[in-house]
Amino acid sequence: MYDLMITYALVIGLALPLGIHIARSLEGNSSFLDRVFSPIEAAIYRLSGVNPEVSLTWQAYAIAALKLHAGLIVLTWLVFMFQGYLPLNPDGIAGMRWDTALHTAVSFATNTNQQHYSGQAELSHLSQTFAIVTLQFLTPATGMAVLAAVVRTLSLGQAAERR
């Protein structure tokens, strides 16, 4: 009972400050959380070879999103296909058929989450925690980033037209 109350308290307590941070970040303004997140963001930029000072075109955003999703689909498909040989499979669940694995990977990568299998009977713990949960986190985050890029591109275009 207490764990549920703690979870609700954390979600409610963090919703406003994180919401303010996200809104200010999307507007291009600094936030009180920049001291925490800026070093992490800088490290990710360095590791991925991204120059944060260079603006991307909408085509570059689209290509980056497509590459990310293609990579996620292939990686997830491979995890589903070879889950019988991977760790965290105490029930000895065999790999999925190629078509079911591909359908599931594409479905979760596009955030439609359509399932043509029995989750606990056909997915190992690794497949559920690594592949499914990762996609359920990354695909909405990517969607939000794409929306921010579209809005930014449209607003910059409108600002340029006003000049």
DSSP, collapsed to helix, strand or coil, labels residue 99 as helix
In single-letter form, the type of residue at position 19 comes to G
Q: Decide if pLDDT at 16 tops 90.
A: yes
Q: What is the mean pLDDT of residues 147-157?
A: 79
Please state, for a pLDDT cut of 70, what percent of the chain lies above it.
96
Band of pLDDT at residue 159, cut at 50, 70 and 90: low
The predicted pLDDT at position 154 comes to: 81
Six token digits for residue 5: 């109350």
SS3 content of the chain, % helix, strand, coil (to 5): 75, 0, 25
List b or e across 120-158, with b for residues whose CB sees 16 or more CB atoms inside 10 angstroms: eebbbbebeebbbeebeebbeebeeeeeebeebeeeeee
| Average pLDDT taken over every residue of the chain | 89
Average pLDDT over residues 3-24: 93
Res. 30: pLDDT tops 60: yes
Asked if 83 and 100 touch (Cβ cutoff 8 Å), the reply is: no
What is the average pLDDT across 129-154?
A: 89
For residue 75, the model assigns a pLDDT of 97
Q: Is pLDDT of 163 > 80? A: no
* pLDDT tens string 80-121: 999 999 999 999 999 999 999 999 999 999 988 888 888 788
pLDDT score of 151: 83
pLDDT above 80: residue 153: no
Is the CB of residue 115 less than 8 Å from the CB of residue 128? Answer: no
Residues in the chain: 163
DSSP secondary-structure letter at 49? T
